[in-house]
Structure 1
Amino acid sequence: MRRVKVWTPILLLLGGAFVGAQLLRPLPEPKFVAAEPVHALDGQFSIPWPAQGQGAVRVPGSGDIGTFGEQKPVPTASVAKVMTAYVILKGHPLRGKADAGPSIEVDAKAVADGTAESESRIEGLTAGTKFSQQDMLKMLMIPSGNNVARLLARWDAGTNDETAFVAKMNAAAAELGMKDTVYTDPSGLDAATVSTAVDQLKLAEAVMKDEAFRAVVAMPNATVKGLPKPIYNNNDSLLTAAGLSIRGIKTGSSTPAGGTLMWAAYKSVGDETPLVLGTMMDQHADGPDPDGRDSLVLVKENSRKVIEAVRAALAASPAVRKGQTVGYLDDGLGGRTPLVATKDLNVIGVPGQRMRLSLGAGAGAVPHAATDGAEVGVLTVGDGDGAKSVPVAVRGDLAEPSFGTRLTRLR
């Protein structure tokens, strides 16, 4: 009895401390769990890919539409200049399409490079002449001036060579997740500058957010004060094609690369006009093809077929219906509360397209308790900028874990 009298208060004290500690422990943060990771739009769609090479198509916000070919690094040719423009605008941003930017002086090296007959270049430059950054971008992107690419690289780095700038290009590629891309020069003339269609699509999506860039690459031609003649876009046949709404981006061609193309197009769907981006690489015409001239024609024609088909198939489709169960809220202690969409959600895509689904808290914190019908988060369909979301609410009351659950929890 003496032992009982001694140990009982101690055990009661320890038990009380345990209970108190369990009840005072912070509750786990509730986690959103989607019912399915992807949603496939109704129907089927087949992209008319060519027989060789590689390519990719994407609608920013909606997600990837399709890819083809082995995504192995291949020479980019002048499509590399898109990264050159991206790095220049990242380091020296222009405030929209009306901003001319700083003046850049032509050096003797750019003049000498303008006489090289074996590559695309801007001819007629004079050392000491100054052009605005905007006009330099036009000379870079419209007629694909290799000498201007190198000049911009030297100007940005403040050195007499392009090494430091090329390092920036590779750093930007890594930042964008372009894992299979290596830049060795700012123009793409070097066959060691390699990438994949999927990687280049990541760059296309990033650079098309820049208004100044969009304005330049949409030009079939331009007159630049200080140049002896107008400059013409190597992609003019697609930029001026009726009914395709193509607004860029860059062609490339060489013997090692064949024909390459990064393109941007638009399609009005109801009251929306989504951007459609695509890349096609490693297109080689049959027979002798000096500097890839015939391959350039081939890649543009093959890309046209893809653009026409994707634009024709692009439409608004239902992804989520009001009241549909889209997942649940896990309280971390075994409790699950169903989540339902609070309204219909239509998305823009092609038949059969698989779109990513994700549940999240939205702007506010996730509650541990809520009444039936309370909005507690959002369901996002698609990925990237422009992805669409719909609020989700709990179906039934969301209650905090019970006394017994909190008392017996092990985690």
Structure 2
Amino acid sequence: ETDSAEPDTPGARGTARPAPTGDQTDDDETAPGTDTDAAPEDDAPPVDQPTAVFKAPRPPVDQPTTMLKLGKPAPESKPEPEPKPKPEAEAERTSKFVALKPLDEPRPKPEVTAAVPQVGPERTTQQPLPPKPPLDLLAELTNTPPPPPSPLRTVARRVKIWTPLVLLLIVAFAIAQSMRPLPSPTLALTAEDSYTFDGGKVSLPWPTQGQGWMDVNGIGTMGDFGKQTPVAIGSVAKAMTAYIVLKDHPLKSGEEGAKITVDALAEKEGGYNKQGESTLNTVKQGDVLTERQAIAAIMIPSANNIARLLARWDAGSEAAFIKKMNDTAKELGMKNTTYTDASGLKETTVSSAEDQVKLGNELVKIPALMEITSMGQWIDPSGQKWYNYNYLVPYTGIGIKTGTTSAAGGNLLFAARKKVDGETVTVVGAILGQHKAPIIKTVNDVSKVALLAAEDELKSAKILKKGDVVGYVDDGLGGHTPVVLTRDVTAVGWSGFKVKLSFAADDVPHTAKAGTKVGTLTVGDGEGGAVKVPVTLQKDLTEPGFTDKLTRVS
């Protein structure tokens, strides 16, 4: 590079210069890439700053392919002393660029060789490599080759990978199991679920006609006779009328209840007609009867006009009330019963002795009604006295309802209470279809015989003692806490009868102290005369442990 301002010519930089003088050595041409300028005479004045051309060292080659062209590197010759530059004339102050190779000669393409001598530091161009497994790459980086694959190493590698994940899942599962809501504890019976009284089956003295059924309320059926088919029941139908009215308008013991105004139709129907219909003929339109008085009117003098008045008062119309009667019969399981009127005067109102006893078992649970039906006589608001057609009241203490028509014959739904070894039990019976005149007396007589015989058959037996383990509380996860009786259990029954035992659980907690009441043992098949004994925890009730929570499956 020089300071010459002369234009460039092809193949060289700067301008042409005169032929070298005799002071230059021929050795300058033996080293490629060197150049010297002719020196002017010694006495020439110096121009600006002398330009000296030194022997240029070969630049380092950055591509291995250069050696293909150059072959073996030439031995580096020792630099020779350069002649002392002479000042040149101003007109001759020029420089010349001598190219090592022609500039327009195409550069040779690089060739790949197995081993290429390098000039200067080694530099290579790397091609992208395929991805390597992490362990191989790690071994390569640490200069440690990966171990050779084997089944054992494969298993060990998988164990290292999966063990933390499995442990994490186990911990999450354990936390979830321990946090789940506990199942509700239940009460289970371990004692025998029944007890059979000694002796053969009881045979009651039934009449020779009609049909009948006898239950001990809440305990079971003592006996029956006749085919249980639908037959006309007469005024016994008023028992269902009273039951629905008292369900819709409950009446407490000794209470008079709501006031009911007598309408014109009730007054009109009050007189005895050609059919000899029973009515309350002392009422006039505008009179007021209490609910208790109206119930007494249909259950003792069997007043048909008041039964229809109650139906209109309760449901708005007798038709709507009759629908209620039939719906209630279905609810009670009275499969052979159909009501077509509220009084029972129509022969199409039919039932069976079994069905009427099902209704009677519900009626004896209503104290206000039993107060009325146990009366031997009733005095209406006008002061007139009416006698109860149920002659059994002096023997039974309670009675329910009679019903007699020429088509239905004599029918009676009755009940009686008796104490058996301190336990009060209620006997409920029905006898239908007694046509021997006088029918009302006949049905009362045959019912009395059967009822007194049933009461004589009643007896008690101690079947469990206080402190006996009769069951356990199940916590739902396999834990069982025993429960015991708080007193002796005495069952009431009769010869050959099998009494049922069952549990009724309270709201059992997850934890409780020993002695806490958790339920009731019931001896019998229902309410009424069934014996009920509280049961308590024998020991403390505790929550399930962590292991039980962890292993639960539901």
Q: TM-score range by the shorter chain?
A: 0.7 to 0.9
The equivalent residue for 2:205 is 48
Q: Would the alpha carbon gap of residues 396 and 215 (structure 1) be closer, same or farther in structure 2, given more than 3 Å must change?
A: closer
CA displacement, residues 94-116 of structure 1 (integer Å, 9 cap, x when unaligned) = 44335274143142455246332
| 1:384/1:12 CA distance change after superposition, 3 Å | same
Of 92-101 and 298-307, more deviation after overlay is shown by 92-101
Change (3 A) 1:52 1:24: farther
Q: Tell me, yes or no, if the aligned pair for 1:177 and 1:199 is still in contact at 8 Å.
A: yes
SS of the residue aligned with 1:252? strand
8 Å CA contact 1:369–1:400 kept in 2: the answer is no
Matches of 1:375 and 1:129, distance apart in 2 = 55
Q: Which structure has the larger Rg?
A: 2
Could you tell me how far 1:262 is from its partner in structure 2?
Answer: 0.8
Q: CA distance change for structure 1 residues 403 and 344 in 2, over 3 Å: closer, same or farther? A: same
Find the partner of 1:257 among 384, 397, 408: 408
Look up the SS of the partner of 1:318 in the other structure: strand
3-state DSSP of counterpart to 1:248: coil
- The corresponding residue for 1:289 is none
Does 2:433 align with 1:282? yes
Structure 1 distance, partners of 2:492, 2:217, is 10
User: Per residue, is there more strand in 1 or in 2?
Assistant: 1
Distance 1:270 1:343 in 2: 15
**Counterpart Cα distance in 1 of 2:182 and 2:314:** 53
Q: Per-residue deviation at 1:132? A: 1.6
Moved more, 84-93 or 260-269: 84-93
Distance 1:377 1:247 in 2: 32
- CA gap 1:56/1:367 in 2 versus in 1, 3 angstroms: farther
Q: What residue in structure 2 maps to residue 290 of structure 1?
A: none
Contact 2:365 2:528 in 1 (8 A): no
Counterpart position of 1:163:
319
Residue 501 of structure 2 corresponds to residue 344 of structure 1 = no
Distance 2:396 2:432 in 1: 21
Alignment of 1:199-218 (within 5 A): 199-218=355-374
TM-score (norm 1): 0.81
Tell me which residue corresponds to 1:288.
none
Q: Which amino acid aligns with 2:503?
A: L
Question: 1:379–1:95: structure 2 CA closer, same or farther, 3 Å change rule?
Answer: closer
Match of 1:145 among 303, 327, 332: 303
Deviation for aligned residue 1:379: 1.5
Distance across 2 between alignment mates of 1:257 and 1:339:
53
The correspondence of residues 206-245 of structure 1 with structure 2, limited to 5 A, is 206-226=362-382, 230-235=385-390, 237-240=391-394, 244-245=395-396
Query: Is the alpha carbon distance of 1:75 and 1:393 closer, same or farther for their aligned partners in structure 2, counting shifts above 3 Å?
Result: same
CA gap 1:166/1:3 in 2 versus in 1, 3 angstroms = same
Q: Is the 8 Å Cα contact of residues 43 and 352 (structure 1) preserved in structure 2?
A: yes
Aligned match of 1:185: 341
Q: Cα deviations across residues 183-237 of structure 1 (Å, max 9, x unaligned)? A: 110011222222233332232233333343223222333332437x5323222x3
Secondary structure of the structure 1 residue equivalent to 2:295: helix
3-state DSSP of counterpart to 2:159: helix
Matched, 1:10 2:165: yes
5+ residue gaps, structure 2: 1-155
How many aligned positions are there?
A: 395
| SS state at 1:274 partner | strand
- The 1-side partners of 2:283 and 2:496 are apart by 55
Partner of 1:358, secondary structure, is strand
* 3-state secondary structure, aligned to 1:9: helix
| Match of residue 25 from structure 1 | 180
The answer as to whether partners of 1:367 and 1:376 remain within 8 angstroms in 2 is no
Q: How does 1:50-69 map to 2 (within 5 A)?
A: 50-69=207-226
- Percent sequence identity over matched residues? 43
Q: Which residue, 535, 547, 552 being the options, matches 1:392?
A: 535
Look up the match of 1:379.
Answer: 521
For residue 192 of structure 1, give the secondary structure of its aligned residue in structure 2: coil
Structure 1 residues 260-339: aligned runs within 5 Å? 260-285=411-436, 293-334=437-478, 336=480, 338-339=482-483
1:163: Cα distance to partner? 0.6
Shift of the 248–131 alpha-carbon distance from structure 1 to 2, 3 Å rule, reads: farther
Question: In structure 2, what is the Cα distance between the partners aligned to 1:231 and 1:68?
Answer: 33
| Alpha-carbon distance, 1:279 to partner | 1.8
Deviation, 1:274, is: 3.4
Q: Which of 275, 288, 312 does residue 118 from structure 1 map onto? A: 275
Once the two structures are superposed, residues 251-285 of structure 1 have per-residue CA deviations (whole angstroms, 9 ceiling, x without a partner) of 11234433221112122345554332222223444
CA deviation profile, 1:49-70 (whole Å, cap 9, x unmatched): 3344433333334444344444
Distance 1:164 1:359 in 2: 40
- Displacement of 1:401: 5.3
CA distance in 1, matches of 2:256, 2:283: 24
Higher helix share: 1
Aligned-residue CA RMSD in angstroms? 3.3
Taking the aligned partners of 1:282 and 1:336, their CA distance within structure 2 comes to 55
For the 8 Å contact 1:77–1:189, the answer to whether it is kept is yes
The alpha carbon displacement at 1:80 in A equals: 0.4
Deviation at 1:19, TM superposition (A): 3.0
User: In 2, are the aligned partners of 1:77 and 1:188 still within 8 Å (CA)?
Assistant: yes
- Structure 1: how far apart are the matches of 2:516 and 2:307? 56
CA separation of 1:392/1:123 partners in 2, compared to 1, >3 Å: closer, same or farther? Answer: closer
1:130 and 2:287 aligned: yes
Structure 2 letter corresponding to 1:25: R
Counterpart residue type for residue 188 of structure 1: G
CA-CA distance at 1:118 after TM superposition: 1.8
Kindly indicate whether structure 1 or structure 2 has the higher relative contact order, using CA contacts under 8 Å at least 6 residues apart: 1
How many angstroms apart in 2 are the aligned matches of 1:393 and 1:224?
Answer: 51
Structure 1 residues 398, 77: CA separation in 2 closer, same or farther (over 3 Å shift)? same
Say if 2:350 is the partner of 1:194. Answer: yes
